């Protein structure tokens, strides 16, 4: 097949995800190569990738030979073997390494293909735990409005942000219950921290009491939430939620699919909080996006009652992505990229904060190498800027050689560059972001 030299259009046989036909009519950029924090398209354009592949897995950047070699070597050694009644060395080793770096008592692991499957599997394990404890009625799961936990089966019930994705697939398995998110900039209760007494967390208890505490198997949430654009809850939030779980015998699933592997300046974002999850989910940065992998970790206590895990994926515990995970973690640790995420992440955040004087910039926030600009039409009321203005700015940035993205609720930009990014590349990106904001303001007559 000849390499394409132009945009993809409706004549292509390929189906894209979340891409309206109108966008395909305009032509879709074909990315053909990556190197460090840069990607190149088939028309000869070069971009700084400020979102690590847009869905943000590429922690180590593009073209990492050592990682690619580890994947090749594993393929030659053992390309595949089943997770059913057999084990393989990379999966055993990766589980052991993860036991050493995941939060506290998380100690047992199973491997899937992506984050959605990891979420699905964590929910299944939670259900298994209750079932084997003789507690068979716990079918409800509490998530939060604005959450994103993937697109699969029962996992999609927790989808609180890309609402059409959930609606189209309804009716779903019953049992989805939503609480408000800890969105301090636009508090759903119109309160201000710390006077709010963290009502967004405390109200979870009231919701559960109303719904029936004995019917809940799990509460799921990201430690720092993507949906509205990188929301780090106050330090009291997760301990309060943990207390509610303990009160009612509900398991706490912390979804580290984006946050894990250094994204927030710690190996796992749970470490920013004084909380012990019962289960955690991981994906994305675990292999730096080079091959697909999702993972679930749980405590010994969760696994203890489970006689058999009634679950099977052909590609579960797959040796090749597990080898990629082992190499990725080795490189993250050796090159101190988690520390770089914290230190350069602070530089990134401070640089973005300099944009707060712009009239459409509402709040800049972030943790480690994961930051956001929440836009507004009115700094007093904090009413969101229409998504159209944000997509205009994203298109402008692309024209200028910078790839950025909208947070799912479509009122903020989210930035999550490869953790190998350097100061000069961040400075180049800032210059473009500022130009795009200024141009949009001008066009809005501000």
Ligand X SMILES: Cc1ncc(COP(=O)(O)O)c(C=O)c1O
List contacts with ligand X (CB under 6 A): 55, 114-116, 119, 148-150, 222, 226, 255, 257-258, 283
Using the minimum distance from each CB to ligand X, give the nearer residue, 128 or 284: 284
Contact yes or no for 413/373 (Cβ under 8 A):
yes
Using the minimum distance from each CB to ligand X, give the nearer residue, 125 or 361: 125
Q: Centre a 10 Å sphere on the Cβ of residue 268 and count the other Cβ atoms it contains.
A: 24
Q: Give the pair of three-digit tokens for residue 119.
A: 């979420």
In whole angstroms, what is the distance from residue 429 CA to residue 351 CA? 10
| Minimum CB distance to ligand X, residue 185 (Å) | 20
| Minimum CB distance to ligand X, residue 58 (Å) | 13
Using the minimum distance from each CB to ligand X, give the nearer residue, 149 or 405: 149
In whole angstroms, what is the distance from residue 344 CA to residue 25 CA? 39
Using the minimum distance from each CB to ligand X, give the nearer residue, 138 or 149: 149
Q: Give the pair of three-digit tokens for residue 403.
A: 């790839």
Q: Give one word for 131, left, alpha or beta, with left for phi > 0 and alpha for psi -120 to 50.
A: alpha
Q: Give one word for 289, left, alpha or beta, with left for phi > 0 and alpha for psi -120 to 50.
A: left
| Minimum CB distance to ligand X, residue 302 (Å) | 19
Give the Å distances, CA to CA, from 4 to 12, 17, 25, 301, 324: 11, 20, 17, 53, 29
Using the minimum distance from each CB to ligand X, give the nearer residue, 226 or 371: 226
Using the minimum distance from each CB to ligand X, give the nearer residue, 159 or 437: 159
| Minimum CB distance to ligand X, residue 417 (Å) | 16
Using the minimum distance from each CB to ligand X, give the nearer residue, 61 or 408: 408
In whole angstroms, what is the distance from residue 172 CA to residue 74 CA? 39
| Minimum CB distance to ligand X, residue 284 (Å) | 6
224 in helix, strand or coil? Answer: coil
171 in helix, strand or coil? Answer: coil
Q: Give one word for 31, left, alpha or beta, with left for phi > 0 and alpha for psi -120 to 50.
A: beta
| Minimum CB distance to ligand X, residue 118 (Å) | 7
Using the minimum distance from each CB to ligand X, give the nearer residue, 176 or 226: 226
| Minimum CB distance to ligand X, residue 157 (Å) | 13
| Minimum CB distance to ligand X, residue 155 (Å) | 7
């Amino acid at each position: 097949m000849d390499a394409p030299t132009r945009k993809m259009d409706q004549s292509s046989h390929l189906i894209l995800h979340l891409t309206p036909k109108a966008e395909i009519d305009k032509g879709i950029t074909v990315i053909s190569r990556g190197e460090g924090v840069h990607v190149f398209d088939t028309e000869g354009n070069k971009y700084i990738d400020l979102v690590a592949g847009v869905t943000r897995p590429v922690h180590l950047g593009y073209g990492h030979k050592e990682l690619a070699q580890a994947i090749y070597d594993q393929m030659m050694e053992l390309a595949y073997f089943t997770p059913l009644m057999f084990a393989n060395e990379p999966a055993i080793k990766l589980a052991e390494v993860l036991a050493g770096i995941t939060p506290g008592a998380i100690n047992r692991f199973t491997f899937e293909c992506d984050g959605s499957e990891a979420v699905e599997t964590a929910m299944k394990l939670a259900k298994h735990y209750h079932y084997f404890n003789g507690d068979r009625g716990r079918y409800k799961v509490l998530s939060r409005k604005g959450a994103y936990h993937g697109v699969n089966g029962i996992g999609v019930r927790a989808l609180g942000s890309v609402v059409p994705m959930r609606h189209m697939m309804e009716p779903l398995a019953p049992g989805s219950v939503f609480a408000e998110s800890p969105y301090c900039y636009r508090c759903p209760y119109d309160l201000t921290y710390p006077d709010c007494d963290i009502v967004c967390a405390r109200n979870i208890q009231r919701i559960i009491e109303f719904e029936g505490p004995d019917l809940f198997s799990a509460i799921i949430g990201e430690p720092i939430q993507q949906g509205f654009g990188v929301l780090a809850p106050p330090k009291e939030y997760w301990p309060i939620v943990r207390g509610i779980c303990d009160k009612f015998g509900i398991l706490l699933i912390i979804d580290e699919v984006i946050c894990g592997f250094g994204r927030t300046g710690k190996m796992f974002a749970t470490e920013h909080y004084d909380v012990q999850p019962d289960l955690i989910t991981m994906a994305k940065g675990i292999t730096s996006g080079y091959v697909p992998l999702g993972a679930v970790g749980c405590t010994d206590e969760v696994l203890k009652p489970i006689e058999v895990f009634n679950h099977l994926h052909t590609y579960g515990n797959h040796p090749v992505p597990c080898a990629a995970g082992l190499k990725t973690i080795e490189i993250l640790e050796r090159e101190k990229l988690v520390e770089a995420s914290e230190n350069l992440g602070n530089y990134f955040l401070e640089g973005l904060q300099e944009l707060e004087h712009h009239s459409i910039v509402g709040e800049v926030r972030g943790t480690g190498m994961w930051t956001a600009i929440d836009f507004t039409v009115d700094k007093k009321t904090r009413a969101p800027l229409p998504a159209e203005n944000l997509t205009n700015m994203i298109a402008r940035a692309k024209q200028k050689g910078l790839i950025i993205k909208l947070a799912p609720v479509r009122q903020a930009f989210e930035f999550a560059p490869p953790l190998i990014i350097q100061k000069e590349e961040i400075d180049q990106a800032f210059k473009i972001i500022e130009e795009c904001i200024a141009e949009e303001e001008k066009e809005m007559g501000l």
